[in-house]
Each structure stands twice: as structure tokens, then as C-alpha cells.
Amino acid sequence: MATCPSCGRYFPPYTDAFPLCGARLSHRMTIHAMRLTALGLAALGLILLWWFAAHTPVPAPKISQAQATMNFAYVRVEGLVTRPPSFDSGADTLSFWVADGTGELLVSSYRSTTQGLIKAGLVPGVGDRVSVEGTLRIRPDSASLTLSSAQALHIQRGQATLMDIGQIDAGAALRAVRVRGQVRAVRSPYKGLTLITLRDPSGDIDVAVPEEIAQFYGPLVELHPGQSAEATGAVTLYRDTPQITLGRSDALYALADSVPIASAARVADLGTRVGQWAVVRGAVVQVNPFSAGVRLMLDDGTGCADVVLWRDLYAVISPTLELIEGTQVAVQGQVSLYRGAIEIEPELATDVTLVAAALPTAPRPTTPSEPTQLSQITPGDKRKLVAVRGKIVTAMLFSQGIKYWLDDGTGQVILLLWQEVLDQAPDLARLAKGTQVSVTGTVDVFEGEIEVVPKSAADVQVQP
């Protein structure tokens, strides 16, 4: 009940005019009307809040501007991915680093967001330009960002440039490149990383394949040394040495056509090709074992060059290719200069191919009837096959064999027995001072001293 403002009497709330005095009465707003008004205002406020939130741009500070007052702020960061992403399959955690020129920021995603990125093929690789939105977390010594959803990551992949391997240097870091070459080696320096060495005529480079790529994009094609392949990725640096880091599994594949890695050359022209790769065709004129392998002398008609086959490589080649005097071969490898002599050093068994087998010849006598006097052997006889006789006057054991000094009364030379020769006849290691020997071997010169180097133990005969 309320009172009439005119006569002061009580009247019911539903009455518009008081019948006793005729006064017009006004009513207060009902509770129901107040509720409806409140709900309307609340709905209007939410609509306005949504509108402002949808049309207000997300702050996009530079990474260097991140500070403690921005902790837990929702921001957008744009930049380049500088390292391969890391993935923890047990926790469904994905992390990668983004740099914008002012600093570097760790971006992480968890569980459903990570699975959404993998399912959509949106895992970024090194060199990709990305835009990420999420919650900023500031710590005293670092800043990080938690990705809000899979849709909050946008990737702009760079257009790869086809380049010669030799053109890639440290200045190309984070640049997207595409190279073609021949696989020279496949190795795993540690668990989680595979390195594939590619070579073209201009040089070689390692292609780094993180194991996470297979988890994101499926297994890679299996490659073997000698195959030709194409790789697309971003240039990264390992101790200032350029390498190419893959971002996707399909960025590495085998080529149907072979990629040449060296050009043909004459032995006479190899002096201008030191440090480069070359292909030489010629005949084997000498086969000289040494402590770490076998050295072939190759003659192409314009000159002679040594082909160095290290022990492991020779062990692969020798069962299928008989490398004897007279064999015609084609050899590719790096040209070098060792003690004034030109050498070619192949890397793989496929670098040495047979052109023509040697023609049958009569066996070479091991003890010619007319030995050369030691005083007549000069440094100009290097690589020449000689037969000598003499008395051992002294001996010296070294890490790769034994040196004996021979004296025939006219002069002295060194009889050099490599460990491979000693392994064929262990008794040779017991040759004593005063023993007379007859030797057939090749003349060599080391540090000014003339050496006679026998090919096998059968070329050394003890005289009574």
C-alpha cells in the first residue's frame, strides 16, 4: 500500500486515480521491469565488448620491447624461424625459435594445438617467415610465447633459389636454396640427426635432416652414396660452416639423371687444377702398396699422376676390379700436390671404373741378373723399377714399418719395408746387421734420401 500525495490516504498500487480526492497517481517501476532492463543493458555491453575486441588489433611489439609489465599479455610476433623445431611426442610439445632482427623468442605449443599444427602440416621449418599470436611469458633472463591455437600460426615459406653448392657461404644464412648433387656420404653424428653430403662440380655441402621431420611429414627417401639427389632447405651454419637444413620430408628426393661432379682433364693440365675435382683416364703403370693403402701410377700419354687408394677404399675396390699394371681405368677425385707430385684421391669405389682390362704379360723377374749399383741411383730415378744388392749396415723401426740402410761398396740407399710387406713374411723383420739381400723395388725420394721400396715380400731375397 502507498499514500496519496494529495490527501495522504492509503491506496492500492494498481489504482491510476484515487477515487476519494480524484488525484492522478504515478507508479514506481516494477521489479520485473528492472530485471528486463538489466538484462538488456548486460547484453548490449557484451555486444560492445565483442565488437571492440574483434576490431581492436592485437599488439605486435618487437621482441626486444618485451618487459615485465607485459607478462601474460596477448601479443602477435612476426619473424624468421632460426632453428629446427623440437618435438616431445610424450607431452605433445612443439617448440621453435623466432627472430625479428631485434631479438629471439621461444614459441611453444601444447597438446591439442600441437596436434592441430601437425595434422594441418603447419610445423614451421628453418628460414620460414611466421606470424604467431599467444600469451607472452616474461622471465628475468628470457621471454617466451605460448601459441593460443593452431589458427594463430601463419607461415610464409620462402621461394627457394637453385644454386651451385660452391656459391653457398655464410652470407646465405637462413636463405631458402635448392641444390643438386651426388650423394657422397650418409652418416649420423648423434641420435636425432642425419647428415647427407652432396657434391657437384663446384664443391660439397652437408644436408642436415633432423629426425623430427619424419614425425611431422613422414619418412624420407632412402639414399646411398653414388646416387644423385636434389635438396631444398634453408642455409644454416655449423661452426661457421654452411649446411642446408631440411624443413620437410619431400624436400629431398633422388634424381633419375646422374649429376656429374668433375670434368675430364689431362694429367699434363692437373697442375692448374690443384684443390679441384677432375676425371682422368689412363693406364696403370705401377702399383705401389704403402702403409695406409695403395698408390697407383696412372699414365694418360701426357704425363703420370699418382692415384691414392686408402686402405678401406682399396678393400672395397680390389674384389671386383683387378688393378694391375696395364689396366685401363677412369678415375675421379680431388687433385692435390704431395712432395712435388700430382695426386688424385678418389672417395668412393664408384670413383674408379674399369675402361679395359690389362693384357696378359710374362711375369716380371724378381732378381735380375744385373743389379744396379747403389751409387748409380739418383733422385731422377724416382718411380723407376730397379734391382739392387747390398749388405744391411743399420736398421730403424718406425710406426709404419722398418727402414734398412743397404751398402754395396759403391754407395748406400734405404730399403723401406712397409708393414703390409712385413705382414706377408714376418721373418723379414728379423733381418740383422751384416745380412746380404737382393731387392727389386721402386725408387722413391723422401726428405732428400733415396729409398728402394719393394712391392711384396717376394721381392726381398736373403743371400747366403
Q: What is the pLDDT of residues 371-421, one digit of tens each?
A: 888 999 988 888 788 899 999 999 888 877 889 999 999 999 999 888 878
The letter for the amino acid at 209 is V
Task: Say if residues 257 and 204 touch (Cβ distance below 8 Å).
Answer: no
The pTM for the full model equals 0.68
Architecture of domain 63-156: Beta Barrel (2.40)
For residue 219, how many other CB atoms are within 10 A of its CB?
Answer: 9
Q: Provide mean pLDDT across the span 152-169.
A: 92
Q: What does the pLDDT look like over 94-148, one tens digit per residue?
A: 999 999 989 999 999 999 999 999 999 899 999 999 999 999 999 888 889 999 9
Distance, CA of 414 to CA of 377 (rounded, Å): 11
SS percent in the chain: helix, strand, coil, step 5 = 20, 45, 35
Give me the phi and psi of 458, to 5 degrees please. Answer: -65, -15
Residue 408 main-chain phi, psi, to 5 deg = -110, 10
374-463 falls under which CATH superfamily?
Nucleic acid-binding proteins (2.40.50.140)
Give the model's confidence band at 315: pLDDT under 50 very low, under 70 low, under 90 confident, else very high.
confident
CATH topology of domain 263-356: OB fold (Dihydrolipoamide Acetyltransferase, E2P) (2.40.50)
pLDDT tens-digit map of 53-101: 666 678 889 998 888 888 999 999 999 999 999 999 888 999 999 999 8
What's 161-254's CATH class? mainly beta
Whole-angstrom distance, CA of residue 37 vs CA of residue 280: 96
* Residue among 265, 260, 213, 173 at smallest CA distance from 84: 213
Which contiguous run of DSSP H or E holds residue 422?
Answer: helix 419-424
